[in-house]
Each structure stands twice: as C-alpha cells, then as structure tokens.
Structure 1
Amino acid sequence: MSTDLFVINNVWMMVSIFLVFIMHLGFATLESGLARSKNTVNILFKNSMIPPIGLLAYALWGFSLMYPGADFAGKLFGFAGFGIPLPEGGETSAYNAGYTFWTDFLFQGMFAATAATIVSGAVAERIKVSSFMIFSLLFVGICYPVVGMWKWGGGFLNTLATPFYDFAGSTIVHSVGGWGALAGILLLGPRIGKFVNGKIKPIPGHSIPLATIGVFILWLGWFGFNGGSVLSAAPGAVSRVLVMTSLAAAAGAVGGCFMSYIMFKTGDLTMVLNGILAGLVGITAGADQMGVVDSVLIGLISGAIVVLGVVMFDKLRLDDPVGALSVHLLCGVWGTLAVGIFGKLAGPAQLLSQLVGVGAVGGFSFVFALAVWFVLKVTMGIRVSEQEEVEGLDIHEHKMHAYPDINAPGYEISMPEKEEVLVAPVPGRAPVTA
C-alpha cells in the first residue's frame, strides 16, 4: 500500500472516530429530552461516564478479548493479554493494515461504549447510578468484547459454512445493548405511575426539542459508524454505504409516521424520531450489501416495527422510557435477518447463518446481563427508593438540578453593589448621577 493511500485511509478512519464519538452527545441529548426534568442531571451523568468507563475497560482488557489473535480463530473465547499490545511490525494494525494500530483501537473502543449507552435510556428514571456504573463496566468490558470476537475477531460465527454477516453491528452492537436493556427492565420494574389499575399512563419527556436535536446528532454520527466500517477510504464503497444509510433513515421516518397515524390517528413526533433511528439500526448490518430499493424497504419496515414494538412492550408492562428495546433490540434483529432476505447475500443459507448469529449473541448477552443485574440487585440494590424516584434522581443522586428554580425559597443570587453611573450632561444643566 502506498504511503499516500495509507494516510488517506487513516485520516478517514479518524474522522469516523470523531463522528462515532459525537453519537454519545446524541444519546445524552435524546435520553435527557425524553426523561422528566427532575432526572436530567442523572441521564447526563450516566452518558458522560459511559465513554470514559468503556474506553478504559476496552484498553485494559476488552480489546484483547475481542481481538485475541489468529490462534483463536473459530473459537468461543480468546485473550491476548492485558493492555493494548502493539503488534510486531510497528504501528500498522495486525487486523486492518490500511491504517494504524492506534486508529483501529480507538474506532473499536468508540463502538464498545455504545452498547452500554443503549441500556442507559431503557432503565432511566429509577436506576441507582452506582449499580449502573458497575453494570456498564462489566457489560462493555466482558460481554461486548466476547460476542464481538465471535464475528469481528475471527471467532466461530465467522467460520460457519456460510459466515454470519454483520457489517457494522445491528446485532453485535445494537441488539447486544437491547438484550442488556431488556434484562435490566425485567429486574428493575416499571416507573412509579406508569401502569396504574391495569391502564398504561404516558409519562412524557420534558423536552422534545432536545430529543429532536439528539436524533439528528445520531444520524450525523452514523455516517462514521457505518461509513467507517468500510475500514478504508475507498470512495465507491464509502459513498454507497452513506447513501444506503441515509435512505434507510429517511424511510424509517416515513414508516414511523405512517404507522403512528394508523395506530394513534395523529402524527407522533417521537415515533418519527424513533423511526429514523430504527432505519439506521436496521440498515447497519448490511449497508454495504444493499441497493436503493432494499435500503428503503428495510427502513420502512424498521419504522413500522418501532411503533408496533413500543405498543407491544407497553402491553407487556415493560417500561422503556426512550423506546430502546424497540429501536435497538427489535430493529437490530430485523436488520440482521434482512441481510439474508435482501441484497447481495440473500438466500436460505445466509438467512440461517443470520438466525444462528442472532440466537447466539442474543442468548449470551441476555444471560450475562441478567446475571449481572441479579447479583447487583441482591447485593447493593439496583433501584432507588420510592421517595428518591418521586422527588427526582437529580437532587438525591447528584445533589443538583439541571434547571434550578431561581424563585424557590433559599435560592439566592448575589447582586453587585449599585455603582454610580455618570449620565451625559444636558446642555445648560449640571451632570446628574443614577
């Protein structure tokens, strides 16, 4: 590879890293907008801590779990040792020779933290922040790297007769987060007031503008999430992936809009927003394999699925404040199966491999998350008290408000002493002061 091409590839991958990084701001903004104002600081705190925890865990051992080396090809588990071992030969990555080892690590590390971010919104407004931090450390540090190794690290899913295919992580990132969220919701229970006397009570978020901003930041970040997964700056391949990603997102918005009209007889903005995300999640498994029609169909179906999913989970009494189960779990599974139905890889053998991958990754992720949540529940607890939940996690968990009431008793603002100001003299009059 020429030096110029190496530099170009490396620069594009670093730009993709920046875009995936900004997705964490999108998640924080979306989740805080869909939560009540009294829990805003709590949401932002969790989303501010997940990237640091994820990157540190991934650096200390996660990367070596996910990419253990060729000796573990076709296996269930491997470990290359603690730390970030620089491969023999210098800074060129042993897995992706088109750019540096350091770029490879940071791109993968940004993906790792995303899995725990998905869980954050689903368990919002009643989770103990300490328990969530411990869960995030274990989930990002162990669960995600293990299932990631099964495909991207050369593990058994990559060595099936017809290899399992997941281009950028509909299953390995998004559904993993969705399974972790489902396990947490089951053990945590619904928010107070969500289900009363057999009826479903809507609990609206405090800022739809914030949620809308978050979705568009996420769409922007997906250009790096999917575009960077080409693993080079090849202009044709990158451009194709970006087009298919955007078409699926656009179709997801339309699918969510139409289905919300059918279900609720109104244009529900939150369903349109989740429809965009649903389309993005759905196309992620096969963005490099799809054509225009394929991408639009995947997006439309994803948008419809997310609306039906929200209704279904409500009826099952599974309280998900942001719709993470519908977006990331259901549409992650759908997008993975769509690889075997649409595009270049469509066929019975590929569809069977996709089912095997969905089942294996889903089964391990759910059992792992359920075990971690259960141990935390019986030891330190995972849910705040009723009083803390009613009054808000911000003041009880963090001793602050996102939107302090300046008119509340005890809230004082120090005002500067009034200064003497010279007023310009009027002709024929002496100067005056104010």
Structure 2
Amino acid sequence: MKLNGKKLLVGAVTVSAVSSPALAVSADSAYIFNTLLFLIGGFLVMWMAAGFAMLEAGLVRTKNVAEICVKNVSLYAIACIMWMLMGYNLMYSGVDGGYFGQFFSLWSPDDTATLVEGAKVDPTGYSAGSDFFFQMVFVATTASIVSGTVAERIKLFPFLAFTVVLAGLIYPIQGAWKWGGGWLDAAGFQDFAGSTLVHSTGGWAALVGALILGPRLGRFSKDGRIKPMPGSSMPLATLGTFILWLGWFGFNGASQLALGSLGDAVSVSNIFVNTNMAAAGGAVSAMLVTKAVYKKVDLSMILNGALAGLVSITAEPLTPTPIIATAIGGVGGALVVFAVPFFDKLKIDDVVGAISVHLVCGIWGTLAVPLTNDAASLSIQLLGIGAIGIFVTISSAIAWFALKTTVGIRLDEEDEERGSDLAELGMEAYPEFGKGSQKF
C-alpha cells in the first residue's frame, strides 16, 4: 500500500509503505481491533441521542422542553428493545438477496458464536455483541429525526407507539435491502453509512407524520403568513449540534467495519477528515447563503447547515478528497437554507428543520456518491432512493393513520396552548420562570 512514499515504523522494524504489501496484524489482534472500532463507534453514535435531545430542547418552545426530553430518552430505550426483539435478525439474518430476514426472532450473542479457548467468538472477525450494539444505535438515530419534526403538538404515547413500528419493522426491512445483503445490495446500490437508509428513512417518516398531524396552532395564518415560533435556547441547540458533530465520527468512521489492517486504519482516518470537512463546508455555506439572501446571519441555519453537511457526506465519506467532501457538505448547507422556507410555504410544519436536513440532504448525499465512487451508478442510486422512499412513506402512513383513527395522535387545542410539559407530564422544564413562561 502506498502512503505518499513515507515509511511506517512498526515496533522496532521499519517497513517501506511503497513496496510492501498491506501490513496485517494477527487474527486475534484484528478481531480485537475490529471489535473495538464497533464499540467506540457505537458509544459515539449513542451519544448522538444526547445531541438530538439538546438540539430539539433548544429549538422547541419553553413549554415543551421537558416533554421533548422524555421523548428522546424513551425513544432510544424503545428502539434498543425492539432491535433486540426483532430488528437485528429482521435486517441481517437470512436476507440472502431478498427483502427481509427473520420476523420476531430474538437476537442473542450465541446465535453465531463458537467456543474458542473458553471465550465465545464470532467467526465474522469481530464480536457479535459489538456489531449488534453498533447497528442498534443507528435505529435510535432514525427515530430521533422524527421526534423533532412532530414536536409540540403530538401526544407522547402515540409517538412512542410509532417508534415501536419504525424500529421494529420499517427501519430493519428497508435496511435489509442494502446492509443485510438484500436486493438493493445485489443491484449495486451504494450507501456507506446511511444517508438514505438512516437519514432519508427518518426524513420520510417525519414528513408523513407532519402531513397527517398538521401544523402547530397559529403557525400559518389563513392569509398565508408564517408566524415565527422561536425556540427556548439557542445555546442549547448549539451544544446539541456539537454533540451530533462529535458523534458523527463514530457514525461514519466505524462504518468502515474493520480496523485490523493498515488499509482499514488509513480509511477510518480519511473518513474522519472528510466527515469533519463536510460539516465545516455545510456550516460556512449556510452562513454565507443566509447572509446573501436575508442580509442577516441565522444561527439556526448555520447549525442545520453543519448537520446538512454531515448527512450529505454519510453516503460516501471514504472516496472523496477533503476539498470535494467540503464541497459536498457545502451544497447540503445551501440546500437547507432554501428547503426550510420551501416546506413552510407548503404549510408543512417542521419544528427543527429535520426534513430539510435529513431527507433533502440524505437524497443529495446519495446522489453525490457517483461523483467520487466509480462503483456507484446514478440510475441505481435513484432506484434505491425511490424504492426506500416509497416503502417508508406507505408504511409510515399506515402506522400514522392507524394511530390517528384509534387512539388519536394530536393534543387538543387547550393542551397544545398550555404546552405538552404540563399537559402530558404535569411538570415544567423551567419552573423558576413561573406561569409567565407558558405564554410563549
């Protein structure tokens, strides 16, 4: 493997990186390194749950902050349980070029492990538990995308019921098509870490939910005006964005799925660089575009611009050069600036801009893959985007409508006006503000 003609010092032996084959470690060491990558990547992605919680808490109004925190903690826990009960095996077990794996099959680390020197070892080259953990935290990310869009007017338990369906059925079925070795994988569809499989899936589910749920009271007037509804804390939203930015290194980096060779170590490093540069490109692009279009710099747009850059590079964070990764993220940041008001004009109320960030930029990132990856075909990328979009839209609509017609999904007007904190929880996130805070 060539690394700019440099030499690598390994232990006490100097090895030429120009002429030598890829440097490899022992099978045991590779197993350990691969497992460690999954575990570190997994807890970084898990930490993104905190990022979503803080971002959403900052962008909803004060009277809804406690409830949005409850939703984020609860959806993560529910997603984990559903992944164990059926999601993992539905996505990965026995797909074999088809559409899904095993329904209602409880995952266990003993499923594929064999006993080696007193330890249960998985033959894949990494611990089965580490793979389960890493894949599990992705489904929670998908559910968090929906949470922010439908905030401030949805009932708590119907939303959590939708999370059960999303985590247990919708996400793993469409994920099986690519990552489980299903029909899209056989067709050549490329999505390295989930611009479509994670982010667009969450975006489609959120879009359908927002359409069926309707906008917040007073958000759109009959004469077409859009009433601004500022969030409770921009510093909190900024903190949430930085947490997500950090977690994304695990999201994309660990999707290399191996760290047991020189090539894998270089790839993970390059993925980290490209992930960071795309986020930087998205933030700067959003800042410049908002200044040019609105004559003011909008902090919320910059935050969403950074996230848009991250979503955009997720489909292929390995093959671009850093400057191309910056440009891909920059396009995503610009798209968000125009997508947010576009959905507002359609009277689709997205509290945190998640549809613009995750759906629009998830599509863009997936379409951008052929720019740097010769293995990708634009037509196949379009096929994957369309197939997953149709499946998630239809299945989400069935779930949302079923909940709406049975238990109802929306708070009544009085409860929405006083806020979901008091209506659903009987408490306030900031009780020291007093009753005056509930007028926001």
> Would you call these one fold, judging by a TM-score over 0.5?
yes
Provide the C-alpha distance between the structure 2 equivalents of 1:34 and 1:136, rounded to a whole number of angstroms: 21
Provide the C-alpha distance between the structure 1 equivalents of 2:322 and 2:66, rounded to a whole number of angstroms: 41
Q: Note the C-alpha offset of 1:2.
A: 2.0
Letter in 2 for 1:278: A
Query: Paired residue for 2:372, among 337, 343, 364?
Result: 343
Query: Paired residue for 1:2, among 27, 35, 43?
Result: 27
Match of 1:38, SS state, is: helix
Provide the C-alpha distance between the structure 2 equivalents of 1:81 and 1:148, rounded to a whole number of angstroms: 16
TM-score (norm 2): 0.89
Q: Is residue 305 of structure 2 the alignment partner of residue 275 of structure 1? A: yes
CA displacement, residues 281-338 of structure 1 (integer Å, 9 cap, x when unaligned):
0000000121123211111100000111001000110000100000000000000010
TM-score (norm 1): 0.90
Match of 1:200, SS state, is: coil
Provide the C-alpha distance between the structure 2 equivalents of 1:380 and 1:345, rounded to a whole number of angstroms: 49
Name the residue aligned to 1:84: 107
Structure 1 residues 360 and 407, CA gap change in structure 2 (3 angstroms):
closer
Structure 1 residues 138 and 307, CA gap change in structure 2 (3 angstroms):
same
Q: Is residue 168 of structure 2 the alignment partner of residue 141 of structure 1? A: yes
CA displacement, residues 146-196 of structure 1 (integer Å, 9 cap, x when unaligned):
000000000000111xx0000000000000000000000000111011111
Letter in 1 for 2:184: L
Letter in 1 for 2:174: V
Provide the C-alpha distance between the structure 1 equivalents of 2:209 and 2:285, rounded to a whole number of angstroms: 29
CA displacement, residues 218-254 of structure 1 (integer Å, 9 cap, x when unaligned):
0000010001101112310100000000010000001
Provide the C-alpha distance between the structure 2 equivalents of 1:368 and 1:345, rounded to a whole number of angstroms: 33
Q: CA RMSD in A?
A: 1.5
Structure 1 residues 260 and 375, CA gap change in structure 2 (3 angstroms):
same
Q: Note the C-alpha offset of 1:89.
A: 4.1
Provide the C-alpha distance between the structure 2 equivalents of 1:406 and 1:259, rounded to a whole number of angstroms: 36
Query: Paired residue for 1:214, among 231, 235, 240?
Result: 240
Provide the C-alpha distance between the structure 1 equivalents of 2:353 and 2:411, rounded to a whole number of angstroms: 21
* Higher Rg: 1
Provide the C-alpha distance between the structure 2 equivalents of 1:184 and 1:215, rounded to a whole number of angstroms: 23
Q: Is residue 106 of structure 2 the alignment partner of residue 56 of structure 1? A: no
Structure 1 residues 41 and 371, CA gap change in structure 2 (3 angstroms):
same
Q: Note the C-alpha offset of 1:346.
A: 6.8
Q: Is the 8 A contact 1:24 1:114 kept in 2?
A: yes
Provide the C-alpha distance between the structure 1 equivalents of 2:50 and 2:62, rounded to a whole number of angstroms: 18
Name the residue aligned to 2:292: 262
Provide the C-alpha distance between the structure 2 equivalents of 1:73 and 1:84, rounded to a whole number of angstroms: 18
Q: Is residue 340 of structure 2 the alignment partner of residue 317 of structure 1? A: no
Provide the C-alpha distance between the structure 2 equivalents of 1:379 and 1:80, rounded to a whole number of angstroms: 25
Q: Is the 8 A contact 2:90 2:105 kept in 1?
A: no
CA displacement, residues 113-150 of structure 1 (integer Å, 9 cap, x when unaligned):
11111000000000010100100000111000000000
Following TM superposition, the consecutive aligned residue runs of length 4 or more in structure 1 with deviations greater than 2 angstroms are: 85-94, 344-347, 405-409
Matched residues, number: 400
Query: Paired residue for 1:110, among 127, 137, 143?
Result: 137
Provide the C-alpha distance between the structure 2 equivalents of 1:284 and 1:188, rounded to a whole number of angstroms: 29
Provide the C-alpha distance between the structure 1 equivalents of 2:122 and 2:332, rounded to a whole number of angstroms: 35
Provide the C-alpha distance between the structure 2 equivalents of 1:406 and 1:323, rounded to a whole number of angstroms: 27
Q: Is the 8 A contact 1:40 1:402 kept in 2?
A: yes
Q: Is the 8 A contact 2:87 2:172 kept in 1?
A: yes
Name the residue aligned to 2:97: 74
Provide the C-alpha distance between the structure 2 equivalents of 1:322 and 1:386, rounded to a whole number of angstroms: 21
